[in-house]
Structure formats: structure tokens, C-alpha cells
Homo-oligomer: A and B are copies of this chain.
Amino acid sequence: MKPVKVGICGLGTVGGGTFNVLKRNADEIARRAGRKIVVEEIGARRENPAIDTKGTQMTSDVFAVATNPEIDIVVELIGGYDVALDLVMTAIENGKHVVTANKALIAEHGNEIFEAAQKKNVMVAFEAGVAGGIPIIKAIREGLSANRINWLAGIINGTGNFILTEMKEKGRDFDDVLKEAQELGYAEADPTFDVEGIDAAHKLTILSSIAFGIPLQFNKAYTEGISKITSEDVQYAEELGYRIKHLGISRRTDHGVELRVHPALIPEQALLANVNGVMNAVVVDGDAVGQTLYYGAGAGAEPTASAVVADLIDVVRTLTADRDNRVPHLAFHPGSLYDTPIAAIEQTETACYLRLSASEQPGTLAAITSILGEQGINIEAIIQKETSEQQVPVIILTQKVQEQKMNDAITAIEALAEINGSVTRIRVEQL
């Protein structure tokens, strides 16, 4: 059968990894795909000295790749929004299938991209955008297609998980570990995307859409980072039998689909609690299958390339399939999406961990518990730490409560004269 010709745009970490995997495993890939997959051209602003591209046509103009009539599939690995969007739309316009690892692009512009792709009868594959080498898009979109999905929860940012793991295992502070992560290359110079949860929210938006059959709605995601988690929180959580993880959670509820990224206490014996370092994992709960979990490297050159190349092989397999029988971009066929709304964070119900600093006066605890009682919040556990100072840390574990009620309670507690500073609130997920 005729080889399929691919153009790779971007020759950074993932682009280089993709080129190398396609070259190294060419024989196995051809035996699986039923034909050869050949890199016809690489578009990159600069060479990557670590990658031996000898013999492959190079251009510094990625748009030349997107319009090259020889090329069947364009692989977008340049990242970012503007040029990437332009490039992907140009490729689609020129009748090319697209494979991308760009979660930001898909989460924020996926709806328009898929609409254009549908019109031109081409596919846009994005497995590499979520959880690196873990085939989580495929698992949800195809492997669990019999299920009505109830919820999913995942550790989908390796940088954040590395930081929380180090804080837990070595008692280190957030800032200290972040600096090391930056030196190791796990975190960017501007770590906002990773530690404030934006990257995780991009990925969660995609997972949520394919799980629940709803359009991508990144702008409605609730996003909270881990930069305010202290080593004391990690320590107290451990005393209570929990670990703190930065989770993306999407859940079907009566008031809509929850879409939220925030730190959470999870039971220490949960498999997710034991996913450490830069690794990723996602739990999916379906009505027929129950809970399944998917674990692996969430980033890195070759793990991400593994997903890019798997997508290439998938696209190659469906080149001759008619559009209506392909796996739909968002798992459900266009026109068959649901209009379930995204639930407001204030409607979420979770148990909570609260940490506050209170003056050691008689009546302080009574004042706090009375405020919680007024909001109908039941207390699961309360720990008042011994200290030589006048201000003592108080840790409270509540039962499930609606977010809005907890917000009101926290505002009232913070207004108490006996309370010093603000109340730390971390949600608790039993999974």
C-alpha cells in the first residue's frame, strides 16, 4: 500500500521525540498500520541539534508544510495559540488531517476547529494533548463508549504533582520545590500555567467534553492552584489519613456538569493518592464499568510522541472510512451533543478541610463551631494544635457541604476577632 506522508511542524521536545519514534520504530509501525508512515517535510524556525533530520526536507515556514500538496497529515507541535490556530485552520482548509499535542488550542478553540474539520471531511486528533502518553482520550471516547459516565478525576499536571510529592515526602516548602522543578526543567520560568491550574483546566475541559458529550467550555472551568498549600497542610492531611493532590474533577450532577481544578485531600489508600512525582493518572467512573484508572507519564519527549504517533496510525486507518463512521471528535456525533450546562462552583458539594489560626481564648472554638452550625455544616474532626505561641492552628474536617454555604461560613469565621488572617480551605474528595 502507498506510504502516508506526514509533515511535522515544530521540532522542539515533542517534535523531536515524534520524529525519532517514527524513525526508530518504523518497521513495527508499518506492520501495525498496514503501510509506511513517512516524514515528508519538517517545518521549524530553527534546527534542533539533538535531532538527526538528515535526508528529510526542512523549511522554516510551517505554513509551507500545511499547504504542501504531497502531505496527507500535518502534525502541529509548535504550541501556543495564534500561529498554531492559523496553522491548523490552514491545514484543514487544504484538506489535511491534523494531529496535535496542543491542549490549550483544543480547549479554547476546539469547537471551531472541529467544525471546520467536519466541513472539510478531515480529522483532528489530540490524544497527546491530555496526560501525555496515557491513551486516555481513546479510553474514554472508545473504550468506555458503552457507559454513561458519572464522573472523572485526574492528576493531569506533572509539575504540580512533582511539587506536592516533594512537599509530602521531604516536608519541603512550595517555593523551595518550585525552584528545583524549574532547575530540572519540569516547570517553566513563568510557572503560572502549571501551578495555578490553567494547564490542568485545559486538559480537564477536553476530558469533560468527550465524557459527557458537551461542547468545549474552558471559560467556565473553575481553576484554583496549589501555590497557597503549605507544608503544614500536607502534614495535617497526613495525620488525618489523606494526601493532598491537585485534581481536575468533572462530574455529572442535577445542576449540570461540574468542571473544576483545585487541590484536594484524598484518602491515602486511594490509588490516585499513590501517583507520585511527575506521573499522571485519571480515574473514570462509568455506570456499567464502575471505576477504571489510567496511569503513565504525562509529559516528556517520547511519552508525548507515543500519543502523537498512535494518533497518526489511527488517522491512517480511517483515511478510507467515510466520515459518518469515524470516531467523532468529541466522542458524540456533531448534532448529537448535549446542552447540559456547566455547574457554578457555588453549587458544588464537597467535604472540606479548614485550617485557621485562632487566639487561645476560651470560647474561640465555640464561636467557630457555632458559625459552622448556623450554615448546617457538620464537623467530622477537629484538631487544635499545641503550641507555645498565643495563636494556635485549628484544623477542621467537615462533612459534605454546598460551596456557597462554606463560603459564607468562612467569611463569618474570618470576621471573628479571635481569628488571625484568612482561613485555608481545601476540598476533600473520597473518590
Return the contact of A321 from the options B127, B142, B321, B331 (Cβ within 8 A): B321
Which B residues are CB-close (under 8 A) to A291? Answer: 296-297
Q: What is the bound-complex CA distance between A25 and B286, given in angstroms?
A: 11
Docked-complex contact A21 and B146, CB < 8 angstroms: yes
A134 to chain B, nearest CB (A): 6
Q: A32-B331, A302-B289 are in contact. Are A320 and B317 (CB under 8 A)?
A: no
- When C-beta atoms are compared, the residue in chain B nearest to A134 turns out to be B292
- When C-beta atoms are compared, the residue in chain B nearest to A293 turns out to be B295
Q: What are 11 A-to-B residue pairs whose CB atoms are below 8 Å? A: A29-B146, A32-B213, A34-B325, A138-B143, A139-B143, A142-B310, A143-B307, A145-B310, A146-B307, A291-B296, A321-B321
Check if A81 is an interface residue, CB within 8 A of chain B: no
Q: What is the bound-complex CA distance between A400 and B143, given in angstroms?
A: 38
Docked-complex contact A292 and B289, CB < 8 angstroms: no
In the complex, besides A22-B146, A34-B336, A288-B309, 19 extra interface pairs with C-beta distance below 8 angstroms are A21-B288, A25-B148, A28-B148, A29-B146, A32-B145, A32-B213, A32-B331, A32-B332, A34-B333, A133-B289, A139-B143, A144-B310, A145-B313, A146-B305, A146-B306, A146-B309, A290-B302, A292-B296, A320-B325
Check if A322 is an interface residue, CB within 8 A of chain B: yes
Chain A 184-215 against B: per-residue CB contact (8 Å), 1 yes, 0 no? 00000000000000000000000000000100
Q: What is the bound-complex CA distance between A320 and B325, given in angstroms?
A: 7
Q: What is the bound-complex CA distance between A292 and B145, given in angstroms?
A: 21
User: Which chain A residues numbered 32 to 54 have a C-beta less than 8 Å away from chain B?
Assistant: 32-34
Pick the 7 closest A-B CB pairs, nearest first.
Answer: A135-B143, A146-B309, A292-B296, A133-B289, A289-B306, A31-B336, A293-B295
Q: What is the bound-complex CA distance between A295 and B25, given in angstroms?
A: 27
For chain A, the count of residues having a C-beta within 8 Å of the partner chain is: 74
Check if A367 is an interface residue, CB within 8 A of chain B: no
Return the contact of A295 from the options B127, B146, B292, B321 (Cβ within 8 A): B292
Check if A318 is an interface residue, CB within 8 A of chain B: yes
Residue of A31, A213, A269, A337 with most partner-chain B CB within 10 A:
A31
Docked-complex contact B290 and A296, CB < 8 angstroms: yes
Check if A328 is an interface residue, CB within 8 A of chain B: yes
Which B residues are CB-close (under 8 A) to A324? Answer: 1, 34
Docked-complex contact A145 and B271, CB < 8 angstroms: no
A331 to chain B, nearest CB (A): 6
Check if A396 is an interface residue, CB within 8 A of chain B: no
Check if A294 is an interface residue, CB within 8 A of chain B: yes
Check if A327 is an interface residue, CB within 8 A of chain B: yes
Which B residues are CB-close (under 8 A) to A1? Answer: 324
A165 to chain B, nearest CB (A): 13
Which B residues are CB-close (under 8 A) to A33? Answer: 145
- When C-beta atoms are compared, the residue in chain B nearest to A323 turns out to be B34
Q: What is the bound-complex CA distance between A288 and B303, given in angstroms?
A: 6
Q: A146-B309, A322-B320 are in contact. Are A25 and B287 (CB under 8 A)?
A: yes
- When C-beta atoms are compared, the residue in chain B nearest to A292 turns out to be B296
- When C-beta atoms are compared, the residue in chain B nearest to A305 turns out to be B288
Docked-complex contact A325 and B336, CB < 8 angstroms: no
A22 to chain B, nearest CB (A): 8
Q: What is the bound-complex CA distance between A318 and B145, given in angstroms?
A: 15
Return the contact of A288 from the options B31, B145, B306 (Cβ within 8 A): B306
- When C-beta atoms are compared, the residue in chain B nearest to A22 turns out to be B146
A299 to chain B, nearest CB (A): 11
Check if A255 is an interface residue, CB within 8 A of chain B: no
A369 to chain B, nearest CB (A): 37
Return the contact of A135 from the options B32, B144, B305 (Cβ within 8 A): B144
Which B residues are CB-close (under 8 A) to A289? Answer: 132-133, 296-297, 302-303, 306-307
Chain A 108-132 against B: per-residue CB contact (8 Å), 1 yes, 0 no? 0000000000000000000100001
